[in-house]
Chain A
Amino acid sequence: MAGVENERVIEQSHAVVDGVDISGHWNRMFEQRVSTTYDTDLLDKVTDLPGAESMGWCYQCAKCVGVCPVDIVGGDYGPRKIFRKLQTGVDLFTNSDLWMCTSCMNCLRVCPKEVDMIKIMPAVREQVLLEGTAPLELQRALENTFRYGNPLGEPARKRADWISEAGVPVPILKDLGRAVDILWYVECYPAYHPRGKDASRALARVMTALGLDFAILGIEEKCTGDTQRLAGEKGLFDELTEYNLKTLRKYQFKRIVVSDPHAYNAMKNEWPKFNQGGDFEVLHYTELLAPLVGQMKFEQPLDLTVTYHDPCFLGRHNGVYAPPRQIVSAIPGVRMIEMPRCRENGFCCGGGGGGMWLDSFTSERNKERMSDRRVKEAVEAGADTLAICCPYEPSRFEDAVKATGSDGKLIVRDVIELVDEAMDLKTKYGG
C-alpha cells in the first residue's frame, strides 16, 4: 500500500484508438492512486510475517466467502472479511477469528489473487503461541503431542495395542528384521481412537487378503504433526519430523502407505523441505488399493447408497479424488451418489487446522457445526451411508449424526470398512 503517487488523469475529448472512436467522458484513464488513507498497522502486522504477505493482495472480490465453510455455518468469515476487519481496526492476533479457520483451502482454490490462508493463519498463530496464549483445549492437544507423541494424551507405549484384535498378524518393523515393501504409517487416531482402530484392523485384513507385504513402526511411531503445524506449532512439527525421519532411516522399505490424509500432506509437501525428507514414495491407502480392486474377492454385496466425502487434505490439497471412488463403486450392491459439494468443492468436516481440538471454541462462534452441516447434506442427497477415509471424520460425523437427529438414517463408514465387510474378512480371519 506504500509508494503511492498523485493520480494522473488522462482525458481526451476526442480519441480514436485502432480505428475505434472512443470520444467521451468515459475514456478517462486513472493511474495508480490512493483509494483510502486508513491506518494499515494491523494489516502490516500480518503481512510483515514471512509467509503471510499474500494477505495484502486481497481486492475484495468475495469469491472466497462463497465457498468458505466457516462462513456457510454462520461464522461470518472468509479471507475477504478478515482483510476488511484488519482494515477497520480488528487485530487478528487477539481476535477469535484467528482460530476459526480449518485450512480447508477452498478459498485459495478460487482466489484470483492467491491470498494463501494456509500460510497466513499458521504464521499469525505461531506468533500468538510464542506469547503463550492459545485456547485451552488446543493447548492441551499440543502439550499431549509433545509429551506422548499423540494429541489424545494416550501413553506412547500403547500405540500398537490395536493390532492384537486385527485377526491377522501386523508385523512391527523393529522385530521383522528385514526390508519390507510397504511401511504402513498408522498415525494417532487410527491407533488409539475406537473408530480409528476399527478402520486400521479392516485395512490390516484387506492388505493381508491381497497378499501385500507390509509392516508398521509400532511404538516408535509418533504423530506427523501436520495439523499442529497449521495450528501454529512450527517448532513442534520440526521436532516431530526430525524424530520421524530419523526413525524411518533405520529401516528399508519401498513405499509408505498412510490412512491419514494429514500425514500424507506432511510427507508429500513438508518433508521434502527437510534433509533427505523427500526420498519417499508416499501413497494414501486408497491410492494403493484402487489398482488392486480387480483382485478383491467380494463375498457379499452391500445394499447401500453411499456418498463419499472428500477429505480436504486428500482431495483439495493433494488432488486425490478418483481412487476412493473407484474402490467404493467396485463393491457389489453399492449405489454411489455424489453430494452437491464434492471433489474440489468438498465441504470441510471441521477437523483441520486445529479444529479437531477447538470444538468448544468454534461452536460458540458458529451457528452450526461444520460436521452437522455436512451430515445433513449427505442425508438430503439421499445417502444412507457416508463413506470417509480420514481418521478425524468418524467421530466428528458420528457425533453429527446424533446431533442432527439422523440416527437410523445415516451410518458413517471408512471406505476400508466397506471393503472389509464386502470381502467378509472378519469371518475369514476373525478380529
Chain B
Amino acid sequence: MSSTIAPARARPARLDPSLLPGDTGMVERPRRRFLPFDPWHLFLAPLAVVMLLPLVWMVVTSLLTEAQTHHFPPVLWPGTPQFDNYLEAIRRSAFGTWFWNTMVVTVAIVISNLVLCTLAAYAFARVRFLGRGFVYFVLLATLMVPLQIVLIPTFLIVKELGLIDTLGALIVPNLASVFGIFMLTQFFRTLPIELEEAARIDGASRLSILLRIVVPLSLPALATLAVIQFMWTWNDFLWPLVTILTNQDAFTLQLGLATFQGAHQTTWHLLAAANIMSMLPMLVLFLLAQRYFVRGIATQGLKG
C-alpha cells in the first residue's frame, strides 16, 4: 500500500492519515480516480437538473404558441419564442391589479413588522418592566398555533372589524408577528450591553439608544426578518383565499393565479407567462439576498 500524498483537490476537511506521525498502520486506501472530476458531480449535476426542471420548463412553456402546448411529444423549444405571451397574459387577466395589491400588502407588512417588532423586541431584551416574562411567554405560546387551526375564529374577528373583501383584511392582522419579535429579541440579547449603558449614563433616552446604537448593529438581523416576512406575505394563499371573497379588485397574485387556472380552459402558455412574472420579484430578491434567506432558515428554521 503506497503512501500517496492526496492530491490538492481532496476534501480539505480530512487529513491524509498516512502523513501523520504515529501512524497506526491502518492507512485508508487512497481512492483510485477513474474520473477527471470529483465523483459527487455525478450525483449533484442530475440533482440540479431535476430541481431546476420545473422552472425551466415553465419558462419554455411561456414562450410556446397555444398549438405547441397541445402537442405530444412535448415541443422542447419554440421555433420563434412568443414573447407576446407575457403581454397577452397581462391583457387577458387583471395581472396589474394583482401585482399592485400584492406589492402594497407585502411592503406595508414588511415595514410595519420591522418597526413594531424592533420596538417590542428591544423592550423584551433590555427593559425591565412589570409582566415582561409573562407576556413574552404568552406571545411565544401563540406561535405554536398556526393559522390553519384558528382559521375560522380569525376570519370572524376580521369580519367583525369590517375588513372582509378589503386589502385591510390582508394587512392588519399581520402588522406584527411573534416570529419577528422572537427572532429580534434573541438577536438583541447577543449584543454587547456596554455601549447602551454608557449612553444611558450620558442621559440618552431608550428610543434614541435603540435608534442610534442597537438598530445600526442589527442590520443583518433586520434584513433577515425583512426577506423572510416578504416571502411569507408574497406567497401566502390561504388567508387571502378566505378573506377576499367576492371583491376581485382586492385579489393578490396567488389568488389571481389560482382563479386564472380555473377560468380559462387552462391556456398553459399564458398561465406559464403569468406564473413566471408572479415569481420574478421573489426570485430576484432571493438571488440578491440569498445569504439572509439562508441565515433566517438556518438559525430560525422557518418556512411559510
A and B interact: no
Interface residues of B (CB under 8 A from A): none
